[in-house]
Structure 1
């Protein structure tokens, strides 16, 4: 079956749950001046239902609402949609390289490069969230896998958070980086896309085309199909493990024959 519908209470019932915030107050005041739910709350909930209906949810029910300060309200709406999903038309980025063990990665790098493979990583712009980059680089790793610092034949330089693009380029040049890994968690106003495009443009300007390091970005809001549009070599989304990244680096920098 390639045609599916959402599942809520029973198979194929089309029920979904949606959360959002509206710039509407749900707090009124009683005769004593204390906050209380009143007309404002009814208007806000009515607006939430109107939005849900326009999005194709019918019937829709507000199952939760909470004031977010004096002028905003957070809603959870539960309702039915009639839309179908055709899984045969879903586009995904297939992994086109084998997954290697740390031992295989080390052997491939040592045999092909006869030196350590240099990886420089960090969070660029104002992004101060290092959880993603640390999960990939730090020896503690993620999902039961040790990070790239564990790999004997990899030299890892973790620049941490809030690294400017010029700083990243300068350090990559100083370390003679083979690959640059960037994590972006902050996504307000598409900051992750803007920062990535700025980074890729800076590396294209700073390096001859055949000498530029491999550019890899990752984060929970990235679309893996956007690598070409963003000017990078690979985009990894949430759930990526250190082993996947290490195997990709070997595949692209060492060669398919050696990696196999």
Structure 2
């Protein structure tokens, strides 16, 4: 079945739940404003199920209601994994056999972003969700530059380390900071290094759209839920397997 609708209480009833904040103190007028917004978004009827004052001037709402929209799953565009998922042993074996040297990876959070949870989960030895990070892979040489790294410093370190791949994590998204920072980073690498000498550019974060690689000038975008094994497998695929 390619045509589906939301499920709430019964199959196909079109019921959805939505949360948002309005810049207005909590009172009856605020609740009416929340329902008006829900109605304009296509929820009919809409029910207010939760409202809570946040500070002096804001209210958080949860609304529940019916929408008439259908979803055609055949028209959904996503980035499917187009490479095999390898174990750490398999990744190391391919690099050792085919590259015949350690694969150099440099990672950082750039700009003013101080949230290293994402990049640390991928790079650090302890990893995440039971998977070891890239530091665990014997055939990977990993440099984690940490947080609030300037783009020039990242480019210079990548050059010094002869990086095969650069991994950048961006969590802060206010005013599209993650997009601006990524464009600045990719432009800096294009300016500093010729096409054949540039490292693979990979960005990750919860608010990225995986379809924006071309627009942002990067080779791959990873979003929430990505594991070290997925990244390591992609590095082998992009830097070794696809170039053979």
When the two structures are superposed, what TM-score results if normalisation uses the length of structure 1? Answer: 0.92
| C-alpha deviation, 1:255, in angstroms | 2.0
Give CA deviations for 1:118-167 in whole Å, capped at 9, x if unaligned.
00001111111111101110111112211100000000000111111111
In the other structure, the counterpart of 1:37 is: none
In the other structure, the counterpart of 2:116 is: 130
In the other structure, the counterpart of 1:38 is: none
Secondary structure of the 2:195 match is coil
Secondary structure of the 1:180 match is strand
Q: Which segments of 5 or more consecutive residues in structure 1 lack a partner in the other structure?
A: 27-40
Secondary structure of the 1:210 match is helix
CA distance in 2: counterparts of 1:234 and 1:20, whole angstroms: 31
In the other structure, the counterpart of 2:19 is: 19
Aligned residues: 244
Q: 1:1-260 residue pairs with structure 2 within 5 A?
A: 1-26=1-26, 41-256=27-242
In structure 2, the CA distance between the partners of 1:257 and 1:104, relative to structure 1 (3 Å rule), is farther
Pairwise CA RMSD: 1.0
| C-alpha deviation, 1:256, in angstroms | 3.7
| C-alpha deviation, 1:238, in angstroms | 0.6
CA distance in 2: counterparts of 1:77 and 1:190, whole angstroms: 27
When the two structures are superposed, what TM-score results if normalisation uses the length of structure 2? Answer: 0.98
Q: Which segments of 5 or more consecutive residues in structure 2 lack a partner in the other structure?
A: none
Secondary structure of the 1:82 match is coil
| C-alpha deviation, 1:239, in angstroms | 0.5
CA distance in 2: counterparts of 1:193 and 1:7, whole angstroms: 34
- Report runs of 4+ in structure 1 exceeding 6 Å deviation: none
Secondary structure of the 1:128 match is coil
Give CA deviations for 1:42-98 in whole Å, capped at 9, x if unaligned.
110000000000000011111111111111111111111010000000001121111
CA distance in 2: counterparts of 1:257 and 1:47, whole angstroms: 57
Max Rg structure: 1
CA distance in 1: counterparts of 2:224 and 2:83, whole angstroms: 19
| C-alpha deviation, 1:100, in angstroms | 1.0
